[in-house]
Amino acid sequence: MTAAARGLLLLPLLALIFLGPPAWSQGRVVRITTVPAATTRIEQTEWAVGVIESRVSAQVAAEVSGKVVQVLAEPGQGVAAGQVLAEIETSQYRYGQDADSAEAGRLDALLRSKTLELERARKLVAERLIAAERLDTVQAEHEALVKQVEGARANLAESQRRLGKTRITAPVRAEIADRLVDIGDYVQAGTVAFDLVDIDRLRVKLPFPEYRATEFAPGLKVRLTSVAAGSRPLEASISEVQPSINPANRAITVVIDFDNPGSWRPGASVRADVVLAVRENAIAVPQIAVVRRPVGDVVYVIRDGKAEERPVRRGLRTGATVEILEGLRSGEVVAVDGAGFLTQGVAVNAGGK
C-alpha cells in the first residue's frame, strides 16, 4: 500500500478525533463512563535516579608506632563508634607507663616529706629557733618538687594515652571500605590503617534537565525511595543546587543531604521525587476526560442524558489525573471512556465509573 493510500485511510479517523462524530451520527446514543469532577490535592513533581553516597569518608590512622598484633575488622563490615579495629603490641608502652608511674610515685613521696619539713621550718622560725634563710631554702625546695611532681604526672598521663592508642578504634559508626594493615606489619604514627565510609550522614546527587533549573531551590520537599532499603519513602529536602551545568549531559545537579533512617546504604540506587508545586484544592478529572478539539481542550459535562461541550484550561498533571484551572466546577459529572466520540448535545448512555 502506498503512503498516499494509507493517508486516505487515516483521514476519517483524524476527522473523528478532531471534529467529533459526523452529522449523520447525531441521532445515536453513545455509551460512556463518567466521574464527578473532584476537589483534591495535586502535586507537580519531577523525578530522577541517583546513587547514595556518604557525606564523610574517614581514614583511620595509627597514632603510635609498633607491630600490629590483631586485626578485628574487614572490608564491608559495619562498625560502631569506638569499636576496636586493630591492636598494636603494648609491651613497650606498658613499660613506659610503669616507669612513669614509679617516678610519679617517688616524687609524690618526696613532696609529702618536703611538705612536712616546710611546716616544721615555719614553726621553728616562728619560735625563733632557726634563721629565716633556712625557711626560704626549704620553701624553694618544696616549690621545685611541686613542679617536678606536675611534670611526672603529665608524663604518666601521656604514657597512659599512648598505651590506650595501641587500640585503633572507629571514630564514628561506619562501614569498612578498605583495610590497609595486616598482622605483623610495623606501623608508624600516622600510617593509615582503615578507610571508613560514614553510613549515618548520607547524600545523593541528582541530574535534572537544564531547562528546569529555575524551578529547583534549596528547601524544596523531596521523597526518596531506595529498593535496597525497602519501599517506604523517606522525606527530605534539597540541600544545594549546584551553580554550573554539567557539560557532559547538559544537566543541573541537585544535592540532597539526609540522615540514615536505619537500613539505607552508600552505593545503592535511589529515586527522588522533587515536589515543585502543590495545589491543595484543585479540581481534577482523569486525563482521558480531556479531549482535543478545534477550540482547544474540552470536557463533556453530562446533563439530562446529553453531553455539553465545555472548553477548559489544564493545570498540573499527576499520574492519570489532570487539574482543570478554568471551565469546570467541582461535582460536575464528566464523560471519561468514550469522551472522544462525543459532540455538543449528543445523547449518552452513562454506565458510570
In order, the DSSP letters of 100-128 are HHHHHHHHHHHHHHHHHHHHHHHHHHHTT
| Better-scored residue on pLDDT, 51 or 232 | 51
Predicted pLDDT at 6: 53
333 near 14, Cβ under 8 Å? no
The reply to whether 46-56+200-278 shares the fold of 18-39+281-350 is no
Report pLDDT digits (tens) over 147-170: 999 999 999 999 999 999 999 999
74 pLDDT above the threshold of 90: yes
Q: How far apart are CA 227 and CA 271, in angstroms?
A: 9
Predicted pLDDT at 8: 45
Q: Name the CATH topology of 18-39+281-350.
A: 2.40.420
250 pLDDT above the threshold of 70: yes
Q: pLDDT-derived band of residue 296, with 50, 70 and 90 as boundaries?
A: very high
- Exposed / middle / buried, residue 188 (Cβ in 10 Å: 0-12, 13-18, 19+): exposed
Q: What is the mean pLDDT of residues 99-114?
A: 93
- Average pLDDT over the chain, rounded to whole? 88
Which residue has 519531577 as its cell numbers? 46
176 near 94, Cβ under 8 Å? no
- Smallest Cα–Cα separation from 300: which of 273, 261, 331, 334? 334
Percentages helix, strand, coil for the chain (3-state, rounded to 5) are 30, 40, 30
- CA–chain centroid gap for 112, Å, is 60
* Max avg pLDDT among 18-32, 223-237, 333-347: 333-347
Report pLDDT digits (tens) over 170-184: 988 888 999 999 999
262 CB-near residues (< 8 Å, 6+ apart): 229
**Strand 221-225 to strand 234-237: parallel, antiparallel, or no bridges (unpaired)?**
antiparallel
Q: pLDDT-derived band of residue 67, with 50, 70 and 90 as boundaries?
A: very high
Q: pLDDT-derived band of residue 2, with 50, 70 and 90 as boundaries?
A: low
- Among 34-43, 123-132, 341-350, the minimum mean pLDDT is found in 123-132
Q: What backbone phi and psi angles, to 5 degrees, belong to 21?
A: -65, 150
Amino acid, single-letter form, for residue 109:
A
**Strand 347-350 to strand 29-32: parallel, antiparallel, or no bridges (unpaired)?**
parallel
Predicted pLDDT at 320: 85
Predicted pLDDT at 232: 80
| Better-scored residue on pLDDT, 311 or 18 | 311
Q: How far apart are CA 229 and CA 184, in angstroms?
A: 39
Task: Judge: domain 46-56+200-278, CATH 2.60.40.10.
Answer: no
20 pLDDT above the threshold of 60: no
3 pLDDT above the threshold of 70: no
CATH no., domain 90-164: 1.10.287
Predicted pLDDT at 231: 63
Q: What is the mean pLDDT of residues 230-255?
A: 89
Predicted pLDDT at 228: 79
19 pLDDT above the threshold of 60: no
| Per-residue exposure over 149-178, b if at least 16 CB sit within 10 Å of its own CB, e if not | beebbebbeebeebbebbbbbbebbbbbbe
335 near 34, Cβ under 8 Å? yes
| Better-scored residue on pLDDT, 319 or 216 | 216
Q: What is the mean pLDDT of residues 259-280?
A: 88
| DSSP symbols for 135-160 | HHHHHHHHHHHHHHHHHHHHHHHHHH
**Terminal-residue alpha carbon distance, the chain:** 41
Q: What backbone phi and psi angles, to 5 degrees, belong to 184?
A: 100, -15
Q: How far apart are CA 339 and CA 330, in angstroms?
A: 18
Q: How far apart are CA 63 and CA 192, in angstroms?
A: 9
All structural domains of the chain with their residue ranges? 18-39+281-350, 46-56+200-278, 90-164
| DSSP symbols for 206-259 | EEEEGGGGGG--TT-EEEEE-GGG-S--EEEE--EE-SSPBTTTTEEEEEEEEE
Report pLDDT digits (tens) over 315-335: 888 878 899 999 999 999 999
Q: How many CB atoms lie within 10 A of CB 228?
A: 12
Q: What is the mean pLDDT of residues 114-134?
A: 87
Predicted pLDDT at 167: 96
- CA–chain centroid gap for 227, Å, is 15
**Strand 186-187 to strand 66-71: parallel, antiparallel, or no bridges (unpaired)?**
antiparallel
Q: What is the CA radius of gyration of the chain?
A: 40
